[in-house]
Structures are given as structure tokens and as C-alpha cells.
Amino acid sequence: MKHPHAITLMTLLLAGSAATAQDKSVEVVHWWTSGSEGAALKVLKDDVVKRGFNWKDSAVAGGGGDNARSALKARVASGSPPDAMQMLGYSITEYAEEGLLGNVDAVAASEGWDKVVPLPLQKFAKFKGHWVAAPVNIHRTNWIWANKAIFDELKLTPPKTFDELVAVADKIRKAGYIPLAHGGQPWQDATLFDSAVMSAGGPKFYKEALIDLDPKALSGKTMEKAFEQMQKLRTMVDPAYAGRDWNIATSMIYHKKAAMQIMGDWAKGEFEKGKMKPNQDFLCFQYPGTEGSFIFNADQFGFLKVSDKQMAGQAALASAVMDKHFQEKFNQVKGSIPARTDVAMDGFDECGKKSMSDMKAALKANTMVGSFAHGHAMHDKAKAAATEVVAKFFDSGTSPAEAARQLAAAVAGAK
Ligand code: GAL
């Protein structure tokens, strides 16, 4: 006898293809507009089209997704939500809490998602036992990407401590290159902060401060150390950093203008789109002091509550997103690793393989933690308030002690 859930899914999909009343398009809001992001998304679009649905693309430019999230809010407020939206961490939970998400439980049960999706991702993909989102990837934020030609030319090796990073940056500057390619947008500053906090205090401290929101951890000496790192990182960037998009910063590594970028592995997608190869043209290593921990940022597609006739489209999208072969292909282009633990890694590059094995080790050691910068550590209001403090500090630099005090106050005020 067939698995009962399999019948449910099949019925749902057949309903989609047979009944004329069904809407045959799926509208997806997302912010994947860089070259590699667009190429990765195309893999998904093609699969959805193969399943008999039109892909209605609603791209809202802006790395990190702030603009797209505002656009979704407006859509929902005006009563016209899309079928699905690229969502991160607590945004999913908050939409679910407000009763704005539907679910794709039938697909998830028939395809056995419970068994293959890492638990830290399920925490956000599921709400009160229902699959309200489908995870498409696992990015990691505590990476440094380096131009190998510059490192070779200056006989540099990846720094193992923060002090070594400072020394390496000095040599790079003296040789006439920009040590750190960075874009001064709040979410990018916050991405540096993910690593600085982990490096200053380790995973236990990261959790106390950024996930448990312990006021002492947020305002204390260790947090001051994290801000001291931020202060030093600030000295490594070029004067024109303000407002620069992340992929423009990545292109500075590509064009050998800058030596390093601290960024999630979507940066790797850009290198590979430009035919740069790991360990030949670029290097990937962990921000010093964060080796052994895995700060994750997983993109998911959240399913908005829609009319019955749109549900077949959502089911098709959910099934496409979680397809093993799709995840293999998509994540090779995107720079991330699959959001399921049973995908063959043979076709991934060295950085991708390292990411997967590091993640498995971090899962065991309980050192896999959600990215603050990308909404996986604290709820969105606190994240926005904390990000503002971090970005202001990066641009105008009060003292690290004052910044730590402001951080604790901002988080407390946003509770
Ligand atoms: C992140 C997202 C990544 C990447 C990045 C830059 O928030 O999770 O997939 O696209 O923004 O746009």
C-alpha cells in the first residue's frame, strides 16, 4: 500500500495540473539580483517551469533583503501577498506568529523532510509542528575570502589569530592594495560583527550575548573586545566604502584591488561565476578565532497564506526546493551547501566540502549558531536596533565600552 501522505501530495499536484480553477503560476518575492544569485535562482525557476507552473518573478534589489522585507510588509498590508518569499530565521517565525503563513505539511511528510533537514534549520522552517517554509541552502558568515595572487606575492598565509590578521592587513596596505573590501551598509557591518563577537568570546559567549540576549554579556568586557576588532577592521577598508554593494566589494577581490573580504559564502558564488577557482585564484578560510564554529544563515521560502487555488503552486515550489538533485545543483552555483544532510558533496569545491564537514562537526559540538546579521539570532526588532548600533559604531566610532553599553540598551529597548 502506498504511504498515505504520498497520496495526499499526489492528489494535490494532480489537482494543480488537471483543474482549470487552479492558478498555474507561482509568485516569489526575493532579493537575489547579483550575477551568481540570479544564476542560482534560474536553476529553481527552470525546475518549477518543468513542473508545469509559471514563475512570476518579484525581485526586490538590495543585498541582505531589507528592501524585500519592506516590500513584503506592504504587500501583506494591502491584502495581496505573493505565494512565497525568500525569508530568514526569525522573520519566518514572526510571520507565522501573526498567522500569515500557510503550510506545506503534505509535501514535507511525503518527502520525509523531518529526517534530512538539520535541526537548527527546522527550528525556523517549522512553526508549532507545521512546515511553514522550505529551506534551500545553508550559508555561513564567518568566512574570509582572499585574492590568492596577492597572498602569494606578499608571501602571506591565512591568519590564525586576530593579531595576525592585523599584521597581514598592514603588509597588504604597505604593498599598495586595500586590505579589506567592504561595503558600508548596515547589514554588511553586522556581518563583520557576527565574526567579531564569535572571535572575541567563542560560541558560548556568542549564544549568551546575541541569542539569549543576556544584558551582562551584551554590555561587558568581552563585547568591548568584539567592538575593538570592529574598530581595527574599520582601518582596513578604503575611504570609498560607504554604501557599496557586497558584490561590488567582492569584485574588488576579483580585480586584485583588495586582498580580503569578510562575507557569507554567497561571495564564493560571484568568484565562481567569474571562473575563479578556490585555492588557485582565491582562498577561503575562517575568520581567525572562529574555526570550529559555524555561524549559519539559511535562506528559506516562506509560504504565505493564499487562496486554495494557489496551493498547488506552493506545493510544487516546496517540492522543487527540497529536491535532492536540485539542492546539489543550486548550491554549487549559489556558494552555499545543501539544506539537507543527504546530498552528494562530490561535485562541490574544496570550500563547499569544508563547509559541510565543519557544519557536521559543529552540529555535534553544539557550535552551530544562527547569524545575528541575517536574522537567525534575535527577533527582528532587536536585530534592527542592534544593527543600528553596530553600523553607527563602524562609521563614526565611539569607544568600544560605550558601544557595548549602547548595544545592551538597544536590545533591551526593543524587547
Ligand atoms: C543574504 C542571503 C544570501 C545572499 C545575501 C546577499 O541575506 O541570505 O542568500 O543573497 O543576502 O544578497
**19 CA → ligand 1 middle, Å:** 36
Return the residue whose CA atom lies nearest to atom 8 of ligand 1. Answer: 299
**pLDDT exceeds 90 at position 50:** yes
* The predicted structure's pLDDT at residue 357: 96
What contacts 36, CB < 8 A, 6 or more positions away?
266, 269, 270, 272, 273, 333, 334, 335
**313 CA → ligand 1 middle, Å:** 24
pTM of this structure: 0.95
Fold match flag (26-139+298-351 vs 141-296+355-414):
yes
The secondary structure of the chain, three-state, reads: CCCHHHHHHHHHHHHHHHCCCCCCEEEEEECCCCHHHHHHHHHHHHHHHHCCCEEEEEECCCHHHHHHHHHHHHHHHCCCCCCEEEEEHHHHHHHHHCCCECCCHHHHHHHCHHHHCCHHHHHHHEECCEECEEECCEEECCEEEEEHHHHHHCCCCCCCCHHHHHHHHHHHHHCCCEEECCCECHHHHHHHHHHHHHHHHHHHHHHHHHHCCCHHHHHCHHHHHHHHHHHHHHCCECHHHECCCHHHHHHHHHCCCEEEEECCCHHHHHHHHCCCCECCCEEEEECCCCCCCEEEECEEEEEECCCHHHHHHHHHHHHHHHCHHHHHHHHHHHCCECCCCCCCCCCCCHHHHHHHHHHHHHHHHCCEEECCCCCCCCCHHHHHHHHHHHHHHHHHCCCHHHHHHHHHHHHHHCC
Backbone angles phi, psi at 214, to 5 degrees: -70, 120
**pLDDT exceeds 70 at position 19:** no
**171 CA → ligand 1 middle, Å:** 31
**pLDDT exceeds 70 at position 406:** yes
* The predicted structure's pLDDT at residue 13: 52
Tell me what the mean pLDDT of segment 127-148 comes to: 98
* Closest-lying ligand 1 atom to the alpha carbon of residue 187: 7
Tell me what the mean pLDDT of segment 77-103 comes to: 98
Beta bridge partners of 127: 130
Return the residue whose CA atom lies nearest to atom 10 of ligand 1. Answer: 32
Please report where in the chains the cell 537575489 appears, as a residue.
Answer: 32
Tell me what the mean pLDDT of segment 271-296 comes to: 98
Backbone angles phi, psi at 242, to 5 degrees: -55, 130
What is the rounded distance in angstroms from the CA atom of residue 183 to the CA atom of residue 240?
9
Tell me what the mean pLDDT of segment 54-73 comes to: 97
**pLDDT exceeds 60 at position 358:** yes
* The predicted structure's pLDDT at residue 10: 53
**pLDDT exceeds 60 at position 12:** no
Tell me what the mean pLDDT of segment 151-161 comes to: 98
CA end-to-end distance (rounded Å), the chain: 51
Return the residue whose CA atom lies nearest to atom 11 of ligand 1. Answer: 64
Q: CB–CB of 117/340 below 8 Å?
A: yes
Q: Would you place residue 397 in the very low, low, confident or very high pLDDT band (cuts 50, 70, 90)?
A: confident
**pLDDT exceeds 80 at position 16:** no
* Closest-lying ligand 1 atom to the alpha carbon of residue 32: 10
**65 CA → ligand 1 middle, Å:** 7
Return the residue whose CA atom lies nearest to atom 7 of ligand 1. Answer: 64
Per cent of the chain over pLDDT 90 is 93
Find out whether the beta carbon of 327 lies less than 6 Å from any atom of ligand 1: no
Tell me what the mean pLDDT of segment 318-325 comes to: 98
Tell me what the mean pLDDT of segment 154-176 comes to: 98
**298 CA → ligand 1 middle, Å:** 9
Find out whether the beta carbon of 187 lies less than 6 Å from any atom of ligand 1: no
**pLDDT exceeds 70 at position 177:** yes
Q: Would you place residue 2 in the very low, low, confident or very high pLDDT band (cuts 50, 70, 90)?
A: very low
Return the residue whose CA atom lies nearest to atom 12 of ligand 1. Answer: 63
Q: What are 31's three cell numbers?
A: 532579493
Exposure string (b/e) for 81-107, b if CB count within 10 Å is 16 or more? bbbbbbbbbbbbbbbbeeebbbbbbbb
**pLDDT exceeds 80 at position 180:** yes
Q: Would you place residue 22 in the very low, low, confident or very high pLDDT band (cuts 50, 70, 90)?
A: confident
Task: Kindly state the greatest CA–CA separation across the chain.
Answer: 71
Domain boundaries, the chain: 26-139+298-351, 141-296+355-414
**63 CA → ligand 1 middle, Å:** 6
| CB-count burial class (<10 Å; 0-12, 13-18, 19+) for 19 | exposed
Q: Would you place residue 6 in the very low, low, confident or very high pLDDT band (cuts 50, 70, 90)?
A: very low
410 or 21: which leads in pLDDT: 410
Q: Would you place residue 311 in the very low, low, confident or very high pLDDT band (cuts 50, 70, 90)?
A: very high
Q: Domain 26-139+298-351 classified CATH 3.30.465.10?
A: no
Pocket test for ligand 1, best of 31, 86, 250, 330 (most atoms within 8 A of CB): 31
* The predicted structure's pLDDT at residue 9: 53
Tell me the pLDDT of the chain averaged across its residues.
Answer: 95
Q: CB–CB of 45/258 below 8 Å?
A: no
Backbone angles phi, psi at 82, to 5 degrees: -75, 175
CATH topology of domain 141-296+355-414: D-Maltodextrin-Binding Protein; domain 2 (3.40.190)
